[in-house]
Structure 1
Amino acid sequence: MTRIAVIDYGMGNLHSVCKALAHVAPQADIFLTTEASGISKADRILLPGQGAIAACMAQLQTLDLIDPLLLAAQEKPFLGICIGPQLMMQHSEENGGVDGLGLFDGQVVRFDTELTDQQQPIKIPHMGWNTISQTAKHPLWSGIADHSHFYYVHSYHLHDSEHTIGETTYGCTFPAAIARDNIAGLQAHPEKSSDAGLRFLANFVDWQP
């Protein structure tokens, strides 16, 4: 039985994430964990989250989860969603500048308030449905049509990741999905993204890097 650990550090709608995983993987053992032991016994790791990145990193540090997560990222399929991929980057300019887990090179930046969408100033946060253009073939896209709609809520975005596998345009074009080796991130909320989001989670459950 596949064991999937959802990291519970008090920064996300964990019920919806677990419910979505249970829907696509009814035979899996899906559990919340706040401890290194939970990460150690899992076959796959899902790092969710929402809110400000400084608070997210502080909570991970308080729970002594940084090193266990870095170790798991060397060995197991590992997916960050929502703020998860931002946590996986080297650095974010949010909250005056915060270092992330460093699993991917690159930065996280705020949407420029001068940007426009269809000649109208963009609203921040970027909230609602938007399409993802698949820029690279990847097992996580299996069965998902290019330009499928996903649901977003975020004010900061990844910037110029060399490991981009999907892009979204909102005032600017930014990496919406990243992946290398056994680790990946999706800026959108798959648990709120209807069939495409559920298929993305199902693909993660089946992913064999």
Structure 2
Amino acid sequence: MIAIINTGCANINSVRFAFERLGVTPEIISTPSQLNKFDRAILPGVGHANVAMKRLVEQGWKEAISRYDKPLMGICLGMQLLCDYSEEGNIDGLGMINGQIKQLQTGALTSPHMGWNTIQTVGQHPLTKGIDANDQVYFVHSFAHTVNEATLAQCEYGQSFSAIVAQDNYAGMQFHPEKSAKVGAKLLNNFMQWQV
């Protein structure tokens, strides 16, 4: 069974529908005490990191997520919140994945980074099974995880940044797998199969 964490900082329906297309019916949960009943969980997120992190702390999710020992994946802002620190609002994150979130240096390119982009490098991991360099996924963001040892896949938009990260039982995707067509569906299915 899979839980989608509802902190009020995401449009969770698109994530729910993506799993339903794979034949899985996730449960949307709004109370941290519910989390441990599930085999795996998704932390979606949109908006400003400062607001979202404040909600996680106030609603008791920070402690619940830090104690969770099964697969948990953040999507977009949810991924960023799993990391150590974000320049967006200068906040400490949940600290489950090593790395910092910094504003993308896009140069002459439009910010935010919005639309399809090509994955350039892919590391070996159960989450990236069947995913190749040159596969495309859909992004909407202006802050990103700097490439480090937690990076499984990276992209380029003015600079290199992490597209997929993982550490222990925590993972994150900067793009929206639920909006990334067949590649996104494959990634979500990989998450469903991931054993830690």
Q: Does 1:147 align with 2:134?
A: yes
Summarize the Cα distance change of 1:14–1:138 in structure 2 as closer, same or farther, 3 Å threshold.
same
Q: What amino acid does structure 1 have at the position aligned with 2:101?
A: V
CA–CA distance in structure 1, aligned partners of residues 134 and 71 of structure 2: 25
Q: Does 1:85 align with 2:79?
A: yes
Greater than 6 Å deviation, 4+ residue runs: none
Is this contact kept in 1: 2:147–2:160, CA < 8 A? Answer: no
Cα deviation for residue 126 of structure 1 reads 0.3
Counterpart position of 1:118: none
Listed as ranges, the matches of 1:19-98 within 5 Å are 19-24=17-22, 26=23, 28-72=24-68, 75-95=69-89, 97-98=90-91
Map 1:127-206; keep pairs closer than 5 Å.
Answer: 127-206=114-193
Structure number with bigger Rg: 1
Paired residue secondary structure (2:7):
coil
TM-score (norm 1): 0.90
Amino acid at match of 1:152: F
Q: Residues 15-59 of structure 1, C-alpha deviation per residue, up to 9 Å, x if partnerless?
A: 0100101112x2x44111111222011110111101100011011
Matched, 1:106 2:104: no
Structure 2 gaps, min length 5: none
RMSD over aligned Cα atoms? 1.2
Partner SS, residue 54 of structure 2: helix
Q: How many residues align?
A: 196
Alpha-carbon shift at residue 145 of structure 1 (Å): 2.9
Matching residue's letter, 1:136: G
How far apart, in 2, do the equivalents of 1:191 and 1:178 lie?
A: 17
**Whole-angstrom CA distance in 2 between matches of 1:56 and 1:34:** 14
Q: Identity of aligned pairs, percent? A: 39
Q: Could you tell me how far apart the structure 1 residues matched to 2:195 and 2:113 are?
A: 32
Q: TM-score, normalised by structure 2?
A: 0.95
For residues 67-101 of structure 1, what are the alpha-carbon distances to aligned partners after superposition, in whole Å with 9 as ceiling and x for unaligned?
001111xx101111111221011111112x01100
Structure 1: stretches of 5+ with no match in the other structure? 116-120
Secondary structure at 1:94 match in 2: coil
Alignment pair present for 1:207 and 2:156: no
